[in-house]
Amino acid sequence: MDLGLRGKKALITGASKGIGRACAEVLAEEGCDVALVSRTAADLDRARAEIAGKYNVGVRVFALDLSDGRNVDKLAAECTDIDILVNNAGAIPGGNLDAVTEDRWRTAWDLKVFGYINMTRRFYAQMRERGRGVIVNVLGAAGENPDVNYIAGSSGNASLMAFTRAMGGAAPRDNLRVVGINPGPVLTERLITLTKTRARDVLGDESRWEELMKGHAFGRVAKPEEIAWMAAFLASDQVSGYTTGSIITIDGGATSRRSAI
């Protein structure tokens, strides 16, 4: 299936690791020039070298903290012809209302909530002017499965789900599309680290972390590529031209696997 993405310009935030990195790889494989954004220049340089070594596409990198709206403005000034924006940067800490202090809460939302909103404000306006473009927001299934022990993430993701749907619902008026993806657990370095810690606590041996994945759907969590393939599919006007204002959940069915009685 040809996605028709060759030559498109994609910008991915949080692109040096995990889901963002996989999105950058898949979009590059499909022929997009990619602009990678994350906070750490060294990580970005490594990602650029690997992607540029594998695919014949342009790779630009920007070491910026998108918590700061000024960096979003800077990025929009540097990248004026983006066709595909993948908002992905940000990881909201776990914990209940007592555990997540106001400072930590605000810091997390500056990146994951306000970062997405500010990026969308700038890049949506640019895309509207050209009359084409797609924004893919990578959110998180906690937004539809409220968890009191992930209160800041559940609330933040829920807000971004509503934001994505509201923007995407009206986007056809500007000939644009905005969609969201809600991943459940994904095998990222972050999850592996968390699971190793849990394996040490629960099993007394962090090397046995994979045993703790057995309870998930298919005995595993999602691969970052499984999120990235969907992101690329949705980013394609050729195959997904009528998909907007929707949230697509990729969580091995967890959201739908609860007992009502």
Partner 1 sequence: MELGLRGRKALVTGASRGIGRACAELLASEGCDVTIVSRTQADLDAAKAKILGASNVAVRTFAMDLSDSKNADILAVECPDIDILVNNAGAIPRGTIAEIDEARWREAWDLKVFGYINMTRRFYALMAARRSGVIINIIGAAGETVQSSYACGSTGNAAMMAFSRALGGTAPNDGLRVVGLNPGPVETDRMTTRLRREATAKFGDPERWRELTSHMAFGRAATATEIANIVAFLASDRSGYTTGTIVTVDGGGTSRASSL
List 25, 33, 83, 251, residue binding partner 1 (CB under 8 A): 251
Which of 229-249 are b and which e, b meaning 16 or more Cβ less than 10 Å from the residue's Cβ? bbbbbbbbbebbeebbbbbbb
Nearer CB in complex with partner 1: 154/244: 244
Are 128 and 174 spatial neighbours (Cβ–Cβ below 8 Å)? Answer: yes
> From the CB of 217, what's the least distance to partner 1, in Å?
4
Nearer CB in complex with partner 1: 111/181: 181
> How far is residue 72's CA from residue 45's CA, in Å, rounded to a whole number?
20
The interface with partner 1 within residues 209-228 (CB under 8 A) comprises 217-218, 221-223, 226
Is 165 a binder of partner 1 (CB under 8 A)?
Answer: yes
List 90, 133, 143, 168, residue binding partner 1 (CB under 8 A): 168
Is 175 a binder of partner 1 (CB under 8 A)?
Answer: yes
User: CB-based contacts of 159: which residues, under 8 Å, 6+ apart?
Assistant: 113, 143
Facing residues of 182 across strands? Answer: 249
The interface with partner 1 within residues 182-201 (CB under 8 A) comprises 184
List 3, 59, 138, 142, residue binding partner 1 (CB under 8 A): 3
Is 256 a binder of partner 1 (CB under 8 A)?
Answer: yes
> How far is residue 244's CA from residue 143's CA, in Å, rounded to a whole number?
18
Binding characters for partner 1, 18-47, by CB under 8 A (x = yes):
------------x-----------------
Judging by DSSP bridges, how do beta strands 9-13 and 247-250 pair with one another?
unpaired
